[in-house]
Amino acid sequence: MKESKTTIHDIARALQIDSSTVSRALNNSPRVTQKTKDKILAKAEELGYQRNVLASNLRKNVTYTIGVVVPRISRHFFSSAIQGIEETAYQAGYNVIICQSLEQLEREKKIVETLLANRVDGVLMSISMETLDYDHLQTLKGSNIPLVFFDRHCDLPGNSNVLIDDFKGGFDATQHLIDKGCKNIVHFSGPQVLEIYRKRFEGYKAALEKNGIVFRNDLVFTSRLMEQEGSECAKKIISENMDVDGIFSANDVAAIGAMKYLKQHGVNIPDDIAIVGFSNEPVSRVIEPSLTTIDQPGFEIGKAAVNLLLEQINDKSLITKGKSVVLESNLIPRSSSNKS
């Protein structure tokens, strides 16, 4: 049984010095001779010493850990955001605990409690769709733990948010179609309770207006944006012989549904009808290389969110001063086959 880990006392005893000197040396304090430092480090190596982070953290009252709460990690946007978060956090010497709310308020509450119990230094959060009031988040504020929302924004005053500019995304998508020569542009929109869809819709209208194209309500199809709903819209366009030369879809799934249907009925994409869709999953581009997508910069969102959080961790007076960062999505004209 070599159960027992070596501690700073072990290496202090072996060297006939005090454990506090060892501690200082291991923390590279300037108040220790280089010579003793070398001795200590050598001995530490020899004994296979490993600092007990728990003890250290307890003493220093920090954890160098941040909690991340997302609806589900399997969604591409979130997994790429997490990638950005980890990258940035690790570089700053922070660990990351990832939690999934699965869009359930109950789970979100429990997660917040757990994170609090584990004394995380800060929390990044993308609230669940069920989350309408924010009482459970007050405990974080109460404990003076910085909290930054990303992707899904929380409209309480004094909170920090990192978001995508959906208005601009919708605008860019529409402008792109107009630049390609489209005049009669259909918009597939989603549930208007969600801010993202409202904003994309507004961007669409703004682009039309800017280019002197009159907005027509009959060109807007609102649905849940599933694949089938996309193809149903396409069906309507064809069967009613609508005069359409462009489609801006608020997500990729509906866009693909529409494309499939249109292609099957002899419509040429993008020559007859050009299509642009907000992209949720990168597979879309693999499946339909001819689909122009608006890509959401998950990685950058993650990075920005961590940076904002670290600012607040390092200067707690910033916690109550809400600060928002807005990132732009990228229009990708049509990707050539790219490796996953």
In the complex, the residues that contact DNA under the rule CB under 7 A are: 4-5, 7-9, 16-21, 23-24, 26-27, 30-33, 35-36, 51-52, 55-56, 58-61
User: In the numeric block, which tokens belong to residue 123?
Assistant: 């929390």
Is the four-CA dihedral 265, 269, 275, 278 of positive or negative sign? positive
Is residue 291 within 8 Å of residue 334, measured between CB atoms?
Answer: yes
User: Amino acid letter at 278?
Assistant: F
Check residue 256 for interaction with a second copy (CB under 8 A): yes
In this structure, the chain runs to a length of 340
CA–CA gap between residue 201 and residue 220 (Å, rounded): 9
The CA angle 192-304-83, to the nearest 5 degrees, is 90
Q: What are phi and psi of 230, to 5 degrees?
A: -65, -45
Check residue 180 for interaction with a second copy (CB under 8 A): no
Check residue 142 for interaction with a second copy (CB under 8 A): yes
Phi-psi group of 97: left, alpha or beta (phi > 0 → left; psi -120 to 50 → alpha; rest → beta)? beta
Per CB under 8 A, the list member of 287, 314, 315, 334 interacting with a second copy is 287
Which residue lies nearer to a second copy by CB, 114 or 324?
Answer: 114
Check residue 42 for interaction with a second copy (CB under 8 A): no
Per CB under 8 A, the list member of 27, 29, 33, 50 interacting with a second copy is 50
Binding partner of residue 31 among a second copy, DNA, none, CB under 5 to 8 Å per kind?
DNA
Instruction: Characterize 51-82 residue by residue with b for buried, 16 or more Cβ atoms within 10 angstroms of its Cβ, and e for exposed.
Output: eeeeeeeeeeeebbbbbbbbbeeeebbbbbbb
Check residue 54 for interaction with a second copy (CB under 8 A): yes
Check residue 6 for interaction with a second copy (CB under 8 A): no
Q: State the minimum distance, in angstroms, from the CB of residue 41 to DNA.
A: 13
Q: State the minimum distance, in angstroms, from the CB of residue 284 to a second copy.
A: 8
Per CB under 8 A, which of residues 56..85 are in contact with a second copy? 57-58, 63, 72-74, 76, 79-80, 82-83
User: In the numeric block, which tokens belong to residue 76?
Assistant: 């591409």
Which residue lies nearer to DNA by CB, 11 or 254?
Answer: 11
CA–CA gap between residue 10 and residue 221 (Å, rounded): 72
Which residue lies nearer to a second copy by CB, 51 or 180?
Answer: 51
Cis peptide, bond prior to residue 270, ω within 30 of zero: yes
Check residue 330 for interaction with a second copy (CB under 8 A): no
Which residue lies nearer to DNA by CB, 55 or 242?
Answer: 55
Which residue lies nearer to DNA by CB, 29 or 264?
Answer: 29
Is residue 299 within 8 Å of residue 81, measured between CB atoms?
Answer: yes
Check residue 283 for interaction with a second copy (CB under 8 A): yes
Contacts of 129 (CB under 8 A, 6+ apart): 71, 103
Ordered DSSP codes for 224-284: ---HHHHHHHHHHHHHTT----EEEESSHHHHHHHHHHHHHTT--TTTTSEEEEEES-THH
Q: What are phi and psi of 122, to 5 degrees?
A: -175, 165
Check residue 116 for interaction with a second copy (CB under 8 A): yes
Binding partner of residue 256 among a second copy, DNA, none, CB under 5 to 8 Å per kind?
a second copy
Binding partner of residue 23 among DNA, a second copy, none, CB under 5 to 8 Å per kind?
DNA
Per CB under 8 A, which of residues 187..226 are in contact with a second copy? 226
Is residue 306 within 8 Å of residue 277, measured between CB atoms?
Answer: no
Q: State the minimum distance, in angstroms, from the CB of residue 277 to a second copy.
A: 14
Is residue 64 within 8 Å of residue 95, measured between CB atoms?
Answer: yes
Which residue lies nearer to a second copy by CB, 103 or 328?
Answer: 103
> Which spans of this chain sit near a second copy (rule: CB under 8 A)?
2-3, 5, 48, 50-55, 57-58, 63, 72-74, 76, 79-80, 82-83, 86, 95-100, 114, 116-119, 142-144, 226-228, 253, 256, 281, 283, 286-287, 337, 339
